[in-house]
Structure 1
Amino acid sequence: MMGGSSESSELDRMALTVLQPGFDGTSPPDWLRRALAEGLGGAVLFARNIADPDQTAALVAAMREENPGVVVAVDEEGGAITRLEARTGSSWPGNLALGVAGDVSLTQRVARQMGRLLAAADITLDYAPVVDVNSNPRNPVIGVRSFGADPALVARHGVAWIQGMQGAGVAACAKHFPGHGDTMTDSHLALPTVPVPRDVLERRDLPPFRAAVDAGVRAVMCGHLLVPALDDAPATLSHAVLTGLLREELGFDGLVVTDAIEMRAVAALRSPGEIAVGALAAGADAVCVGVSSPEGESVYALRDAVVHAVREGSLAEERLAEAAGRALRLAGWYAREAPARAAALRDADEGLGLAAATAALRVIGTAGRPALRVAPLVVEMSARPTQAVGRATPLGVGGALAEVLPGTVRVEVAEGGDLPDLADPGRPLVVAVHEAARHGWIQRLLAEAVRARPDAVVVETGLPGTPAGAVYLATHGNSAASARAAARWLTGGG
Structure 2
Amino acid sequence: MAGYTLFGYNIVDRAQLATLVTQLRDANPDVILALDEEGGDVTRLSYHEGSPYPGNAALGAADDPELTRATYRGIGLELATVGINVDFAPTVDVNTADENPVIGTRSFGADPELVSRHTAAAIDGLQSAGVAGCAKHFPGHGATVSDSHLELPTITDSLAVMRGRDLPPFQAAIDAGVRMIMTAHIRVPELTGDAPATASGRVLTDLLRGELGFTGAVVTDALEMRGASGAIGQPEAAVRALLAGADLLCLGSDINEALCESIVDGIVFAARGGRLPVARLEEAVARGAASVADLKPVAAESAEAVRDAIRVAARRAVRVEGLLPPLKEPLLVQLGSESNIAVGTVPWGLPLDGELVTVAISQNGSPYLGPSAADLSAVAGDRDIVVVGRDTHRFPQARALIEALAARHPAVVVVEMGWPSAWRPAGVSAFVTTHGASRANGEAAAEILSSTTR
CA positional deviation for 1:382? 3.8
Kindly tell me: are residues 55 and 98 of structure 1, through their superposed partners in 2, closer, same or farther at Cα, counting changes over 3 Å? Answer: same
Alpha-carbon distance between aligned partners in 1 of 2:123 and 2:347, rounded to the nearest angstrom: 27
Task: For residues 131-160 of structure 1, give each alpha carbon's deviation from its aligned partner in whole angstroms, at most 9, with x where no partner exists.
Answer: 111111111111111111110111011111
**Counterpart in 2 of 1:456?**
412
Alpha-carbon distance between aligned partners in 2 of 1:89 and 1:269, rounded to the nearest angstrom: 35
Q: Could you tell me which amino acid in structure 2 is paired with residue 291 of structure 1?
A: S
The within-5 A match list for 1:191-202 is 191-202=152-163
The within-5 A match list for 1:216-255 is 216-232=177-193, 233-255=195-217
Contact persistence 1:177–1:209 (CA under 8 A): yes
2:76 is equivalent to residue 115 of structure 1: yes
CA positional deviation for 1:89? 0.3
Alpha-carbon distance between aligned partners in 1 of 2:431 and 2:78, rounded to the nearest angstrom: 33
The within-5 A match list for 1:287-298 is 287-291=249-253, 293-294=255-256, 296-298=257-259
SS at match of 1:171: coil
* Equivalent in 235, 257, 273 of residue 235 of structure 2: 273
Kindly tell me: are residues 326 and 345 of structure 1, through their superposed partners in 2, closer, same or farther at Cα, counting changes over 3 Å? Answer: farther
* Equivalent in 467, 472, 478 of residue 431 of structure 2: 472
Alpha-carbon distance between aligned partners in 1 of 2:452 and 2:67, rounded to the nearest angstrom: 21
Alpha-carbon distance between aligned partners in 2 of 1:348 and 1:394, rounded to the nearest angstrom: 25
**Counterpart in 2 of 1:286?**
248
Kindly tell me: are residues 330 and 345 of structure 1, through their superposed partners in 2, closer, same or farther at Cα, counting changes over 3 Å? Answer: farther
* Equivalent in 382, 387, 400 of residue 431 of structure 1: 387
Alpha-carbon distance between aligned partners in 2 of 1:228 and 1:467, rounded to the nearest angstrom: 35
CA positional deviation for 1:255? 0.8
Kindly tell me: are residues 316 and 474 of structure 1, through their superposed partners in 2, closer, same or farther at Cα, counting changes over 3 Å? Answer: same
The within-5 A match list for 1:34-113 is 41-113=2-74
* Equivalent in 282, 300, 304 of residue 343 of structure 1: 300
**Counterpart in 1 of 2:110?**
149
CA positional deviation for 1:347? 6.5
Q: Could you tell me which amino acid in structure 2 is paired with residue 410 of structure 1?
A: L
Alpha-carbon distance between aligned partners in 1 of 2:162 and 2:63, rounded to the nearest angstrom: 24
Q: Could you tell me which amino acid in structure 2 is paired with residue 241 of structure 1?
A: V
Alpha-carbon distance between aligned partners in 2 of 1:95 and 1:292, rounded to the nearest angstrom: 27
**Counterpart in 1 of 2:337?**
383
* Equivalent in 394, 399, 408 of residue 347 of structure 2: 394
Contact persistence 2:4–2:33 (CA under 8 A): yes
The within-5 A match list for 1:169-184 is 169-184=130-145
Alpha-carbon distance between aligned partners in 1 of 2:98 and 2:150, rounded to the nearest angstrom: 19
Contact persistence 1:70–1:331 (CA under 8 A): no
Kindly tell me: are residues 350 and 185 of structure 1, through their superposed partners in 2, closer, same or farther at Cα, counting changes over 3 Å? Answer: closer
CA positional deviation for 1:435? 1.1
Alpha-carbon distance between aligned partners in 1 of 2:452 and 2:60, rounded to the nearest angstrom: 23
* TM-score, structure 1 normalization: 0.86
Give the length in aligned residue pairs: 439
CA positional deviation for 1:266? 1.8
2:215 is equivalent to residue 261 of structure 1: no
CA positional deviation for 1:292? 5.1
SS at match of 1:381: strand
Contact persistence 2:94–2:112 (CA under 8 A): yes
SS at match of 2:442: helix
Alpha-carbon distance between aligned partners in 2 of 1:205 and 1:292, rounded to the nearest angstrom: 30
Q: Could you tell me which amino acid in structure 2 is paired with residue 239 of structure 1?
A: G
CA positional deviation for 1:345? 3.6
**Counterpart in 2 of 1:409?**
355
**Counterpart in 1 of 2:313?**
356
Task: For residues 268-302 of structure 1, give each alpha carbon's deviation from its aligned partner in whole angstroms, at most 9, with x where no partner exists.
Answer: 121211111111111000000113544x2222222
SS at match of 1:418: coil
Q: Could you tell me which amino acid in structure 2 is paired with residue 288 of structure 1?
A: C
**Counterpart in 2 of 1:308?**
269
Alpha-carbon distance between aligned partners in 2 of 1:342 and 1:276, rounded to the nearest angstrom: 37
CA positional deviation for 1:493? 8.3
**Counterpart in 1 of 2:371?**
418
Alpha-carbon distance between aligned partners in 1 of 2:143 and 2:348, rounded to the nearest angstrom: 30
**Counterpart in 2 of 1:37?**
none
Alpha-carbon distance between aligned partners in 2 of 1:222 and 1:421, rounded to the nearest angstrom: 45
Task: For residues 313-351 of structure 1, give each alpha carbon's deviation from its aligned partner in whole angstroms, at most 9, with x where no partner exists.
Answer: 1111111000001111123123xx22xx24344762233
* Equivalent in 429, 437, 442 of residue 483 of structure 1: 442
SS at match of 1:230: helix
Alpha-carbon distance between aligned partners in 1 of 2:359 and 2:303, rounded to the nearest angstrom: 43
Q: Could you tell me which amino acid in structure 1 is paired with residue 376 of structure 2?
A: D
Identity in percent: 45
Alpha-carbon distance between aligned partners in 2 of 1:271 and 1:426, rounded to the nearest angstrom: 57
Alpha-carbon distance between aligned partners in 2 of 1:204 and 1:126, rounded to the nearest angstrom: 25
Alpha-carbon distance between aligned partners in 1 of 2:291 and 2:163, rounded to the nearest angstrom: 28
Kindly tell me: are residues 485 and 293 of structure 1, through their superposed partners in 2, closer, same or farther at Cα, counting changes over 3 Å? Answer: closer
SS at match of 2:335: strand
Give the root-mean-square deviation of aligned CA atoms.
Answer: 1.6
Contact persistence 2:56–2:108 (CA under 8 A): yes
Alpha-carbon distance between aligned partners in 2 of 1:54 and 1:493, rounded to the nearest angstrom: 40
CA positional deviation for 1:217? 0.4
CA positional deviation for 1:244? 0.5
Structure 2: gaps (5+ residues): 362-367
Larger displacement relative to structure 2 (457-466 or 48-57): 457-466
2:98 is equivalent to residue 137 of structure 1: yes
2:275 is equivalent to residue 322 of structure 1: no
Kindly tell me: are residues 293 and 225 of structure 1, through their superposed partners in 2, closer, same or farther at Cα, counting changes over 3 Å? Answer: closer
CA positional deviation for 1:375? 1.7
Contact persistence 1:194–1:225 (CA under 8 A): yes
Alpha-carbon distance between aligned partners in 2 of 1:79 and 1:292, rounded to the nearest angstrom: 24
Larger displacement relative to structure 2 (428-437 or 128-137): 428-437
* Equivalent in 150, 168, 173 of residue 212 of structure 1: 173
* TM-score, structure 2 normalization: 0.93
Contact persistence 1:80–1:389 (CA under 8 A): yes
Structure 1: gaps (5+ residues): 1-16, 18-40
Alpha-carbon distance between aligned partners in 1 of 2:15 and 2:51, rounded to the nearest angstrom: 17
Alpha-carbon distance between aligned partners in 2 of 1:72 and 1:185, rounded to the nearest angstrom: 30
